[in-house]
Amino acid sequence: MKTLIIPLIVLLGAAAPHEKGTLKLASKSFRAGDSLAITGAKFSKKDELTLALVGVSGRIALGDVPTDTAGAFRSVLLVPASVAAGQYRLAAEAIDGDEVATLDVVVLAASTMPGMPDMPGMQHSAGHAGTDAEPTGAPLVLARQRNVVVTTTTIAVIIACALGGGLLLRRPRINSMEDVS
Amino acid sequence: MNRDGIVTRARSVLADRLALQSLEYQTPARANRWDFMLGALTLAALVVLAATGIVLTQYYNPSPLGAHDSVRYIITSAPLASLLRDVHVWAASAALLLVFSHLAAVFWRRGFRAPREGLWWSGVVLLALLFGLAFTGTVLRADQEAVEALAHNNAGAKVAGPLGVVMRPEFTPSVPQTTRLYAMHVSALPLALIALLALHLWLVRHLGVSAPGEGRSKFSSHLRLISGAALVLVAIIASAALAWPATLSAPGVDGFEVTKPMWPFLWIYAAENLFGMGGMLVAPAVLFGFLALVPVADRRDGRAASLTRAVGVVLFALMIAAIVYAALAPGQSHLGMDMGGGS
């Protein structure tokens, strides 16, 4: 086992020359031309990072930020007004081009999220990943909508499956020599 | 013509048109026992997963910022889709539980010996694919557990080097990672699963099951029994879905680990608790490496066969113990993530 684990641990060390960090934004959707307040943590200490938006239209550099002695930074960068609306990744790159953090973001063209029509029951709560929200694994208390027809039909299907299954399992009784031709 | 005559005639017409006589071939009567039906029941759970999953694709939005909202919408505003999501989640647990039970039963009765090595190996790859489907399914919720799963995926993909390129966020700028994992969940993985299932069933049909004994039974009788068991399974899954609906936590926050994974991954979580990132990678490698070697190590009765069985039993016991330990132990953060709550 040691012969397996030791090279793997060496490989793990070699594969991570930079500290992987995290990026946070006030909101993961913003408009072209906006000033973007970005904070980062857990990066290599006293390092220089390049922040860029990466999307289908290419890579748009937002600027360079230095990390402090704790490997953190806080910066406000301008999103160029020429950036097209759409899905991007906000990427933090180390000086050798190694990507050390990434965050999915949306650049908005209008006042609403593109391709996301308002639907009843939708709160537009998404986008907390990478924001300042408190993490929790506790289940959300949601007003689960039940429909009488759906519930009644489901109960009927359950009963039918249980009875049908029971009948098929009961008849015919299979024993070791049954059906021998 | 009386009622019985009509039924007999109808059955005859149907049997002729659908070639149902081909189901009258003989199988070992012992195969009608419950421990020989676990594979078929896994297949039944997979059919439920496919049917409910197809409906869910019409409600789920795989964009990173729309994913959580769409799951929330399913729960709060689409009663049928919400119930089908609950069934989907329970069927996934059932499929994994059944496939593990099937694997353990086949291992114990040495159903992997010649000429059934291919049957065993295709089953091992099917198990890996089921893990892949469960993992990608977890990520799609975009809640805290999903974000943590994605962080582990990215760390593992980086270590895997060129083999992990497709799983990395920077693979392509044109499609977000959540969307790509969704595509894998609904296309590549199910297609691979169907192809391997076809091979698995072909081999079962032509090599037969490893069931000693003189008694013979028609396959049509066996089919009736497994259909009955499958219906009971559907009833159990649907009852569980009604009684204990699937949950959703708040949208995930990067850089924190405050949850534990779905139960089939808890043994990997336990290994990561004990040995760090190396444990997360080595534990599955040990399990799947052992499973791949089983037909080679245990070909006939003897010392090697006894040793293989002993190692298998120990690994299985370790896995169960690791799952119980991880379920009961306090949460732990990995990969340098924070535990939240000011820690």
Q: What is the torsion angle, in degrees rounded to the nearest 10, for the CA atoms of residue B142, residue B145, residue B146 and residue B151?
A: 130
Cβ neighbours of residue B332 closer than 8 Å, sequence gap 6 or more: B257, B273, B339
**Best residue of B163, B253, B286, B311 to probe chain A, by most A CBs closer than 10 Å:** B253
**Residue B178 predicted with pLDDT over 80:** yes
Nearest CA in chain B to A105: B65
User: Is residue A134 assigned to a domain?
Assistant: no
The reply to whether A84 touches chain B by the CB within 8 Å rule is: no
Nearest-5° Cα angle at B309, B306 to B311: 110
Cα angle at A21 between A15 and A23, to 5 degrees? 140
Higher pLDDT, A85 or A131: A85
Task: For residue A120, say if its preceding peptide bond is cis, omega within 30 degrees of 0.
Answer: no
Q: Which amino acid is it at B174?
A: S
Of A71-85, A111-125, B12-26, B159-173, which range is least confident?
A: A111-125
Is A127 within a domain?
A: no
Query: CA of B223, closest CA in chain A: separation in Å?
Result: 10
| Mean pLDDT across chain B | 92
Query: Coil, helix or strand for B267?
Result: helix
DSSP A53: E
* Helical packing angle, B219-243 and B79-108, nearest 10°: 130
Please state the rounded mean pLDDT for residues B203-229: 90
Which pLDDT band, with edges at 50, 70 and 90, does A180 fall under? very low
Q: Do A121 and B234 touch (CB under 8 A)?
A: no
B122 vs B31, residue with greater confidence: B122
pLDDT in tens, A49-100: 999 998 877 788 999 999 999 999 999 998 888 888 778 899 999 988 888 9
Question: Does residue A95 belong to any structural domain of this protein?
Answer: yes
Q: Which of residues 246-275 of B touch A (CB under 8 A)?
A: 247-256, 258-260, 275
A16, A121, A181 member nearest B73 (Cβ):
A121
Number of domains in chain A: 1
Dist CA B311 CA B164 (whole Å): 30
In a domain, A88, yes or no: yes
Q: Which residue reads 């002993």 in tokens?
A: B310
Rounded to a whole number of angstroms, the distance from the CA of B333 to the nearest CA of chain A is 13
Residue A120 within a domain:
no
Question: Is B337's pLDDT higher than 90?
Answer: no
Q: Point out the least confidently predicted range of A121-125, B134-138, B170-174, B245-249.
A: A121-125
* Structural domain range at position A47: 19-108
Residue A67 in domain: yes
Confidence (pTM): 0.80
Q: In what order do the strands lie in the sheet with A58-66?
A: A29-31, A99-108, A86-93, A48-55, A58-66
Report yes or no on A51 lying in a domain.
yes
What mean pLDDT do residues A132-151 have?
Answer: 82
Residue linked to tokens 């969940």: B185
Q: Which residue has the higher pLDDT, A140 or B295?
A: B295
* pLDDT tier for residue A11 given thresholds of 50, 70 and 90: very low
The per-residue pLDDT for B210 is 84
Which uninterrupted H or E stretch holds A24?
strand A22-25
- Look at residue B45 in the predicted model and tell me its pLDDT: 98
Report strand pairing: A48-55 vs A86-93.
antiparallel
Q: What residues have CB less than 8 Å from B206, skipping those under 6 apart?
A: none
Q: Is the pLDDT of residue A120 over 90?
A: no
Going by the DSSP 8-state scheme, the letter that residue B160 receives in this structure is T
What tokens were used for B57?
């694709």
In the prediction, which pLDDT does A131 show? 57
Helices marked H in B144-265 — which ranges?
144-159, 177-183, 189-207, 219-243
Interface membership of B75 toward A (CB under 8 Å): yes
B176–chain A Cβ distance below 8 A for any pair = yes
- Residue A102 inside a domain? The answer is yes
pLDDT at B156 over 60: yes
| CATH code assigned at A39 | 2.60.40.1930
Host H or E run for residue A36:
strand A35-41
Tokens encoding B230: 């499958």
Task: With a cut of 80, say whether residue B310 has pLDDT above it.
Answer: yes
Supply the pLDDT for residue A81: 82
